[in-house]
Amino acid sequence: MGKYLIYLSVFFGHYLYGQSVTIHYEWQRTDRIKKATLQVDADGTYLLSDNFLFNAVAFSVEGHADLNGFSLEATGDQFALEEDPHFEHVDGMKPVGLVHLAGATGQCELIISGYQGRVEVFLINSQLKQTPAWRYEQKEDVTGDCSEPVSIDQTAWRTGLPAPVYTRSFTTVKHIIVHHSAGANSAADYYEVVRAIYLYHTDVRGWSDIGYNYLIAPDGTLFKGRDPDIGEQDNVRGAHFCGKNSGTMGVCLLGTYTNVDPPQKALESLVLLIAWKLSKETLSIYGTETHAANPDLGHIAGHRDGCATECPGQRTYNLLDKIRIAVDTAASGCDIPGVTGPQLFSIYPNPATKGRIFVSPGTEAYQSLELIDARGQMVRRIVMEPDVELVELSTVDLLAGLYIIKLSGLGKAITAKVVVTPP
């Protein structure tokens, strides 16, 4: 559908100081997005209201505005605004990330302090115009057997929206990048959230398709993201990682996880998806590799490991080590290098709580012992004497977390996990 340049309505909002401002509304490429433009000359609260229901909002602001002075209030929630690191400035306008609302509304309030300049607001309606038969079917159970998890296809969630038409690119994935969508945690219709992200990426920001390979709802529902056409879903190159997307697969948790943990069901689906992908690509759970965005990027990493952003939320980022451990457990029967198979030697105490651990290699002969952290980096190495029965390792200067002990020698190597806690 072409872009309509006719102003459809004009609304007079009010400053906190009693002045008024003209806000112009126009359609943005589709009848599902309305663009409001206003010139801000003073601090205040700007009411955006028009004969149009919307359930997501995006922004662009002029210049290099400090977004700490911006917030949005709608459907009973207040949202802080954050620059969207996926997009470059266009015509002097800074892109601000998409905000998902708890439901559809006809108005919202934009609160601005310490800024003067032009603001563009994109009101997005991603609602389904009718409810398809598949819409409320129960999602299949996902089992931890290293097979590809069950997911909702694009043809289902994209009902009524135009399919993307472009030449796909594919990549060899070495890194799984975890994101959050930074929307309302109270949003209950996850199909509409995914549809809003699609509309935002394509019709507001001008991309060919949604940026992520997969999206995960708070209830654990897994959605396929970027459409691979006849290629593989997990290997189609997305647009999600700091402008350096080669070698990555992007997974977005729906919601904001700066101050709260992601729901357990969402984490469970994330773990099973990662376990399947690492198994498929025979990538180490705890390993790292050089990437254009980070010379030491983990096979499991967060968006902020590539550029300056709050994503995937501080609480999600804090959980990445636990996610790696959970992937290790889920993948115990998969062909993933690093930590698989039975433990063939003894470690005690485990967890290590007294500043040291003892390793008994048993009856086998080994030449070296390595202690490896959760990022795959070696932090200790000991050359072992023949017939040694017990090796002592100090843990006093180690950060708390999961470590791997690796015994090597005579063309073989075995591994086991140890948890270090403060003495």
Which domains are delineated in the chain?
9-124 (2.60.120), 154-330 (3.40.80.10), 346-420 (2.60.40.3080)
Q: Which backbone phi and psi does 89 adopt, to 5 degrees?
A: -65, 140
Range 36-62 average pLDDT = 89
Share of the chain above pLDDT 90, in %: 42
Range 222-238 average pLDDT = 96
Contact assessment for residue 85 and residue 41, using Cβ atoms and an 8 Å cutoff: no
Q: Decide if pLDDT at 89 tops 90.
A: no
pLDDT of residue 132: 53
Range 130-140 average pLDDT = 49
Listed residue (371, 252, 275) closest to 325, CA to CA: 275
| DSSP letter (8 states) at residue 68 | G
Q: Would you list the DSSP string of 269-313?
A: HHHHHHHHHHHHHT--TT-EEEETTEEEEESEEEGGGTSS--TT-
Q: Decide if pLDDT at 106 tops 80.
A: yes
Give the residue ranges of DSSP H helices in 113-263.
154-157, 190-199
Instruction: Tell me the pLDDT tens digit for each residue of 325-335.
Output: 888 878 776 65
Higher pLDDT, 343 or 126: 126
Range 289-294 average pLDDT = 93
Burial level of 23, CB count in 10 A (0-12/13-18/19+)?
buried
Return the minimum-mean-pLDDT range out of 113-127, 233-247, 275-289, 404-418: 404-418
**46-65 core/surface letters (b: 16 or more CB in 10 A; e: else):** bbbbbebebbbbbbbbbeeb
3-state helix, strand, coil in the chain (%, to 5): 15, 40, 50
**372-382 core/surface letters (b: 16 or more CB in 10 A; e: else):** bbbbbeeeeee
**163-177 core/surface letters (b: 16 or more CB in 10 A; e: else):** ebeeebeeeebbbbb
Given strand 117-124, what is the order of strands in its sheet? 9-14, 20-28, 30-40, 117-124, 44-62, 93-112, 70-74, 77-80
Please tell me the distance from the alpha carbon of residue 107 to that of residue 75, in angstroms, as a whole number: 9
pTM: 0.75
Higher pLDDT, 7 or 40: 40
Listed residue (235, 218, 99, 215) closest to 157, CA to CA: 215
- pLDDT band at residue 357 under the 50/70/90 scheme: confident
pLDDT of residue 49: 83
Q: Quote the mean pLDDT of the chain.
A: 83
Higher pLDDT, 386 or 311: 311
pLDDT of residue 190: 92
Higher pLDDT, 349 or 150: 150
Whether the bond into 386 is cis, omega within 30 of 0: no
Helix (H, G, I), strand (E, B) or coil at 328: helix
Instruction: Tell me the pLDDT tens digit for each residue of 141-188.
Output: 444 566 789 999 999 999 989 999 999 999 999 999 999 998 888 888
Contact assessment for residue 202 and residue 194, using Cβ atoms and an 8 Å cutoff: no
Q: Which backbone phi and psi does 17 adopt, to 5 degrees?
A: -95, 10
pLDDT of residue 131: 55
Q: Is the dihedral of CA 31, 240, 236, 286 positive or negative?
A: negative
Q: Is the dihedral of CA 195, 147, 339, 265 positive or negative?
A: positive
Q: Decide if pLDDT at 12 tops 50.
A: no
pLDDT of residue 346: 77
Per the DSSP assignment, residues forming a β-bridge with 10 are 24
Range 335-349 average pLDDT = 58
Return the minimum-mean-pLDDT range out of 165-169, 286-290, 313-317: 286-290
Q: Which backbone phi and psi does 390 adopt, to 5 degrees?
A: -150, 130
Range 292-299 average pLDDT = 92
- pLDDT band at residue 389 under the 50/70/90 scheme: confident
pLDDT of residue 141: 45
pLDDT of residue 197: 96
- Residue 42 has which token pair? 């003073």
Range 23-33 average pLDDT = 78
